[in-house]
Structure 1
Amino acid sequence: MQKILVSACLLGRPVRYDGGSKRLDDTLLDAWKAEGRLVPVCPEVMAGLPTPRPPAEIEAGAGGAAVLDGRARIRDDAGGDVTAAFRAGAEAALAAARDAGCRYALLTDGSPSCGATFIYGGAFDGRRVGGQGVVTALLETQGIRVFAEHQIADLAHALAEDGSAPTEQARPNRTTLRP
């Protein structure tokens, strides 16, 4: 049975920067949880950042790969440099994925750690830019396919295609994202 690395906030755990969660109510996620497939992580918490914590963004809308390469920093909304913690969190998430044998991840879009299709622009003005967070960038360099929460059906199809999930799990599902 293929394990799936998953953002803990999608499971309702109150680990987000604001102390909340981003619970994803989805029949596929419920089934995978019941099967014991999910490996929950919160990279920021794993790196020792508190909950709640100041919001953080990758500067100038650069992506996670630029952070990993040392070409960009991650700053909180007071200007503090939290790059080292986010890099440590990415390494911890990668270690958890490797330990569990994960080839797939379902992560929270928009996060400077977990963003899979978009992150925020670095000016704390709510502007979204296409790009990846640090964890996503690192996981993908190691061959782990990352999906955002709105791509859960695509993840189910990928699991079915490689024989890691029953075919019926690749069907359309009902998804509700709660703030």
Structure 2
Amino acid sequence: MQKVLVSSCLVGEKVRYDGGDCLRHGVLDLWQKQGRIVPLCPETIAGLPTPRLPAEIEGGDTAAAMRGKAAVRRKDGEDVTAAFIEGAEIALRECWRHRIKIAVLKEGSPSCGVTCINDGMFTGNKIAGQGITAALLTRHGISVFSEYQLQEAAQRLDELEGRVG
């Protein structure tokens, strides 16, 4: 049975920066009952506390942050890039350990954003781009979806398990 890496906040764990969750139902409930879900929050697994100040990628894009040419900074200016990269690397290792080929991640997060992240100025504006974990998983061939793409994720799971013909 194919496992799916899922942002912990999407399965009810209160790990978001604000101490909350983003509980989603539907296919995630089914996958949880089937024992498919491997929940993980890259930020907390790397040692960041809950709650914590919000963080955004400043001074460049995700690729630049991963090369040390931009930074993930908390709203108070503290550089937390190393923790975000460590969390992404742990997520990738978990995917390898469980042979995971699909991830469902929290859209908009500087870790998990799949198609958009915040603009780096703490304005609430979203820009096109991926978070650090989403980018690293994608780079290693893992199909990454947001909580708004659950139908597509389910279709990919069906393909991997040979249920689409």
Question: Residue type of the partner of 1:20?
Answer: G
* Mapping for residues 3-152 of structure 1, pairs under 5 Å: 3-26=3-26, 28-60=27-59, 62-152=60-150
SS of residue in 1 equivalent to 2:38: strand
Output the aligned Cα RMSD: 1.2
Structure 1, 153-162 or 143-152: larger mean CA deviation: 153-162
- Separation of aligned partners in 2, 1:137 and 1:35: 27
* Mapping for residues 160-179 of structure 1, pairs under 5 Å: 160-163=158-161
Greater RCO (Cα-Cα under 8 Å, separation 6 or more) = 1
Assess if the C-alpha contact under 8 Å between 1:43 and 1:113 holds in 2.
Answer: yes
Hey, which bits of structure 1, 4+ residues long, moved more than 4 A?
none
- Separation of aligned partners in 1, 2:151 and 2:57: 28
Assess if the C-alpha contact under 8 Å between 1:64 and 1:113 holds in 2.
Answer: no
Return the TM-score normalized by structure 2: 0.95
Percent identity at matched positions?
Answer: 50
- Separation of aligned partners in 1, 2:65 and 2:151: 29
- Separation of aligned partners in 2, 1:16 and 1:156: 25
Give the CA deviation at 1:162.
2.6
Return the TM-score normalized by structure 1: 0.88
- Separation of aligned partners in 1, 2:34 and 2:22: 22
Question: Residue type of the partner of 2:43?
Answer: E
User: Where does structure 2 lack aligned partners over 5 or more consecutive residues?
Assistant: none
